[in-house]
Amino acid sequence: MFIIKLALKSLLNRKFTVALTIFSIAISITLLLGVERIRIGLENSFSNTISGTDLVVGARTGDEQLLLSTVFHIGMVSNNISWHSYEDIAANELIDWTIPISMGDSHEGFSVIGTNEDYFTHYQFANKQHLQFQEGKAFHETFDAVLGADVAASHEYKIGDEIVINHGSGDIAFHDHGDKPFHVTGILQRTGTPVDQTIHVSLEGIEAIHIDWVDGMPDKHMHFSAEEVEHLHLEPEYITAFLVGLKNRTDVLTVQRQINTNKSEPLTAVMPGITLQRLWNMMGKIETALLIVSGFVAIAGLIGMLVALLTGVNERRREMAILRSVGASPLKIFGLISSESIVITMWGIAMGIAFVFLLLQLAKPILETQYGIYLNPSGISLQEIYIIGTVIILGILIGIIPGYKIYKYSLLDGMTVKM
């Protein structure tokens, strides 16, 4: 049809402006979808800070508090779990594996946790990824330590380096365990989770550095050297928390109830995924802020398009007067201008989508390794379809504005276009 041919020729004639307009729309779409992808990625990564773990168990406390302290090392639980209770529960036949965790010490602001080698086999994060070693291996000896990626990077620690653990958390140490230094045996690969900021040692190691301490202070009367302590019985009396993996995920509620109603001591078992989601929702402001930013980006893009289209309107009144004179109805002229705008919007959107996928593909390795943000690898989400749909509708509505202006002019402009 002639009108369509005309629209295309006119677009071609203004290819520079048209390309810029398409580009500006593409950029806003890219930002809008990119921000949305990253937002979802952040949420997913947060919810999957720990994954594959069915229950996190600690002494009786609030769900969020337990999770914040065990997974994020934020705050402390005041009570411990006795080793006996732990062993009792771990023997439950519904349970596949457990990872004991003992916390309370730190090194240069990084938390130190005591655990066992199961940690490296069963601990999972993100999409059920296991921990991996950049260098070295898990701890075997009492004074071996495995560092998270950030810990190693911050002081350029290498395998074999010695580190001294401080008693308590925080940067300022009142007492340290300088008499019993640890040796780095392994450095973990970056996970983008709090594991990166953690030093892992064996439970025996934690026990060994505290065996000659009383009430959080070195005992004035008793002292064992690092060599002597190796020969002592180093089974801990208490641990802070433990992670549970079930043989069958469907048993999770049963096991949770069993633990929560445990007779020998009051315990709390939480499902980490649900609690993490709840924590994320508590931080919902981040999400709202990101959404608002994306919204403004889109509005800016569409206003840019409107400006570009309206600048064209005056230049094109002459053209419209000519078309009117050969019998084109105002409605046809409206259609011509609007369809041009719509073509521009569609191209902008298509290009924006292409950009976003390209950029995310390029950014993916960096986001994953540096920030622990795992983007949804699958196609377009429903949310994104909504966004694209909204932009298409807004684009069409905005495309109609210059069409309508020209329509109104074309009802009046006849033989002369007064400009």
Which chain residues interact with other proteins by CB under 8 A?
Answer: 2, 6, 9-10, 12-13, 318-319, 321-331, 412-417
CB nearer to other proteins: pick between 95 and 336: 336
Judged by beta carbon, residue 7 or residue 50, the one nearer other proteins is 7
User: Tokens 């259609």 appear where?
Assistant: 335
**Residues ≥6 apart with Cβ < 8 Å to 161:** 183, 184
CA 374 – CA 238 distance, rounded (Å): 36
Q: How far apart are the first and last CA of the chain?
A: 30
Look-up: residue for tokens 């560092």? Answer: 147
Query: Nearest distance from residue 321's CB to other proteins, in Å?
Result: 7
Q: How many CA atoms lie within 13 A of 324 on its CB side?
A: 21
Q: Which two structure tokens, joined as six digits, stand for 72?
A: 């994020």
Within a 10 A sphere around the Cβ of 351, how many other Cβ atoms?
A: 17
Q: Which amino acid is at 122?
A: H
In angstroms, give the least distance from the CB of 308 to other proteins. 17
User: Which CB sits closer to other proteins, 20 or 289?
Assistant: 20
Neighbours of 260 (CB within 10 A): 15
Query: Using CB atoms within 10 A of its CB, is residue 207 exposed (0-12), middle (13-18) or buried (19+)?
Result: buried
In the complex, what is the shortest distance from the CB of residue 337 to other proteins, in angstroms, rounded to a whole number?
Answer: 14
Q: Of the two residues 295 and 330, which places its CB atom closer to other proteins in the complex? A: 330
* Residue 3 C-beta: closest distance to other proteins, Å: 8
Query: Measured from the CB of residue 21, what is the shortest distance to other proteins in angstroms?
Result: 17
CB of 340 to other proteins, least distance (A): 12
What is the SS3 assignment for 181?
coil
